[in-house]
Structure 1
């Protein structure tokens, strides 16, 4: 193994350790114990399993939370007695404004609906977690890809892991050639500062790896070229907790080849 390959493998090992640190963090994906839709609250705004009374504002742009001292809810570290209007948490669950003891109640907005997601650092899944099965680093799976954007963003409806269909926004196609010479295309979303994100399955899905995985790249260059590193394919959040709303791969995103690298499944 030459020094360049060694360096790439070391960088990947550092990335892998960062992933483990993120997954096992107190409010990481292993901490999620429930996702509750505010639309399912009763006439008093009560949601089974979540303290307080929750309702949308009249225009649907925010949520009003009402609590009394017996609910034990805090907002920004102060016990809430009365009402407060809240917007979606955008800085991650660790920064959620609402807490209940050590638990964080993350407020989410998904396709016109509000939900409360509960993060518990003492969740059973976090306590029993033993690791992520990951294929060994293989530089042959660091590929050159070319991004072909659509003339305008598209949305397709795909099934989510909770059994409901939701829209998935797609910004273009990512084309690449795998080490066996096969030419492949993935439909991808454009996220953040131009980075690409794909939900994909392959020949190992469901028989050696989780039923689907996520792939992220950096932002493509001006000519559309971008590095496609399947060593950094990740498990979706729903692999760590059943209470995430992960989309299944859109049509055409099941590759007819085995991808033996990247995160594969939960260990054990």
Structure 2
């Protein structure tokens, strides 16, 4: 039985979650500040759009050569010469390379190198007017049970940039919603929490074309809470430079998930 105090606590937690989420996406180096993802394979001459220096891949390293007047920084200090780089593992603010207030993040996906350009003065960040979020509805909260696969699987799925890539999956999350049993194929994060890419009956109609869900790490019996009130817009909903994966086969739910983050609010003129 849900008591009034339980309901009030859920509403408070949900309001705090909304506030924190808006602050995260609109932070100086949040997803709204990404102005470009430049794949080296698309620029064999070593010149990346809008970035100084010469960029080249060399096996497991990315080699950058730049002059002092290019204005690049490395580990917080002026950089000139040649440096061999590996992918940046941490947050954007910890990226080794900078250009003024911008942060340049080195990444590698399936053997391909890219550099992401994050700019706090990005037009998308200045135009951000919020996220359309549906109010908390207990009908979209369910107890889930996670069953890991005997071996991790990788499936090929389309991505928002039109390229097909591998998506790692660690198991299946089962739950009951509106009296119907549902399942999602999920990935397992380093901290044990789960990550699902899903679509539903509202996708592309009253919600973005697909969304993310991040349930907490299951307990020893595989139990975790499936709360679609905390459905997330993927990064590519904020700017086009992210390469979000589409839902894997089986992750399009028959139910209409009229909950959580649905779309971006109308943007301000900048």
Question: Which digits, 9 at most, give the CA deviation of each residue in 1:139-166, with x for residues without a partner?
Answer: 2222100111111001100000000000
Q: Distance in 1 between matches of 2:81 and 2:41?
A: 21
Alignment of 1:98-117 (within 5 A): 98-117=97-116
Q: Distance in 2 between matches of 1:80 and 1:223?
A: 52
Extract unaligned runs of 5+ from structure 2: none
Q: Distance in 2 between matches of 1:100 and 1:41?
A: 20
- Equivalent residue for 1:216? 214
- Equivalent residue for 1:184? 182
Extract unaligned runs of 5+ from structure 1: none
- Equivalent residue for 1:14? 16
Q: Distance in 2 between matches of 1:40 and 1:47?
A: 9
Instruction: Indicate which of 236, 243, 246 corresponds to 2:244.
Output: 246
Deviation beyond 6 Å, 4+ runs, structure 1 = none
Alignment of 1:34-113 (within 5 A): 34-43=36-45, 45-57=46-58, 60-113=59-112
Q: Given the two structures, how large is their TM-score scaled by the length of structure 1?
A: 0.96
Q: Distance in 2 between matches of 1:251 and 1:147?
A: 18
Q: Distance in 2 between matches of 1:209 and 1:193?
A: 29
Q: Distance in 2 between matches of 1:88 and 1:46?
A: 19
Q: Distance in 2 between matches of 1:203 and 1:149?
A: 27
- Equivalent residue for 1:23? 25
Say which SS state the counterpart of residue 70 (structure 1) adopts: helix
Say which SS state the counterpart of residue 60 (structure 2) adopts: coil
Q: Distance in 1 between matches of 2:14 and 2:94?
A: 28
Instruction: Indicate which of 1, 4, 7 corresponds to 1:2.
Output: 4
Say which SS state the counterpart of residue 17 (structure 2) adopts: helix
Question: Which digits, 9 at most, give the CA deviation of each residue in 1:171-213, with x for residues without a partner?
Answer: 11110001x2011010001112211100000000011100000
RMSD over equivalenced CA pairs, Å: 1.1
Say which SS state the counterpart of residue 20 (structure 1) adopts: helix
**Is 1:196 the equivalent of 2:188?**
no
Say which SS state the counterpart of residue 109 (structure 1) adopts: strand
How many pairs are equivalent? 264
- Equivalent residue for 1:235? 233
Q: Distance in 1 between matches of 2:227 and 2:190?
A: 18
